[in-house]
Amino acid sequence: MSLSFHTADLSLRAPQAIIFDTDNTLYAYGHPHAQATAAAEEKAVRLLGCQVDDVRRAFAQARQEVKQRLGRTASSHSRLLYFQRGIELLGRKTQLVITLDLEQTYWRTFLAHCELFPGVRELLMTLRNRGIGTAIITDLTSQIQFRKIIYFGLDDCFDYVVTSEEAGADKPQEAPFQLAIDKLGIDPAQIWMIGDDPASDIAGARRFGITTLLRVDRARNGNGRDVAPDLEFDDFEELNRYLFSGKVEGWARQ
């Protein structure tokens, strides 16, 4: 699959701004997460003197507990909280130094294995050169998401960044979308949203009348199967070529 429209007669009009999700949209999340998880587990086994299976079970239970307690908030994604609670479940009480060490190990390893999808940087530079506004709406805490954007060298490619920590709620709740719209100061009808999750990115943006583009290459979120984007794509390089091929009203051919 390359580009796929969900409305046969849809004619895309050039936006005044594009909002991007981050994780699994600008880069693949799965591989760095797996590497980071393994590194944190290995260190926990060494520092706590536990078996790896026990560590995995405790951290999995900790993640579930944190998410159930905190709901759809930025803190519910916190590896710091997962590791803190996981260590406690292993019977070691609260170990602050080890908790901080595991969190730093996780994110250091995670970033070392991250790589932008081909074409992302080129698209962002083209948008900047054409005066198109750009923003990010992303779940998780601000410090971690800021670090990712800086690591990718994209900190000068976005006009605004909105995290769920700043907004007080995860997507698809209205708060992060409304905050991004307010920062951009642009009519939502003139904004596009590019994300990877039908239930969070697409459904959330649709409430505001934002044109939605879904990047796909993974199993669909079951909660979002009924939420069709305006356009699906799986290759930023091809998307870039299409957008500036003269087929999008308001954008001339490159």
pLDDT number for residue 7: 56
Tokens 């794509």, located at residue: 233
Question: How does DSSP classify residue 24?
Answer: T
156 is catalytic: no
70 close to 164: Cβ distance less than 8 angstroms: no
Residue type, 246: G
CB 177 within 8 A of CB 207: yes
pLDDT beyond 90 at 254 = no
Residue 219: pLDDT band with limits 50, 70, 90: very low
Question: Residue 235: is its pLDDT beyond 80?
Answer: yes
Percentage of residues of the chain with pLDDT beyond 90: 85
Record: fold of 3-28+115-243: Rossmann fold (3.40.50)
Catalytic-residue membership of 21: yes
Q: Which of 9, 21, 159, 230 is catalytic?
A: 21
pTM for this entry: 0.91
User: Using one digit for the tens of pLDDT, what is the confidence trace for 118-130?
Assistant: 999 999 999 999 9
At residue 218, does pLDDT exceed 80? no
* Contact assessment for residue 14 and residue 189, using Cβ atoms and an 8 Å cutoff: no
Would you say 227 and 199 are in contact if contact means Cβ atoms under 8 Å apart? yes
The active-site residue, picked from 23, 196, 197, 201, is 23
User: How many Å apart are CA 254 and CA 245, to the nearest integer?
Assistant: 7
Q: How far apart are CA 200 and CA 172, in angstroms?
A: 4
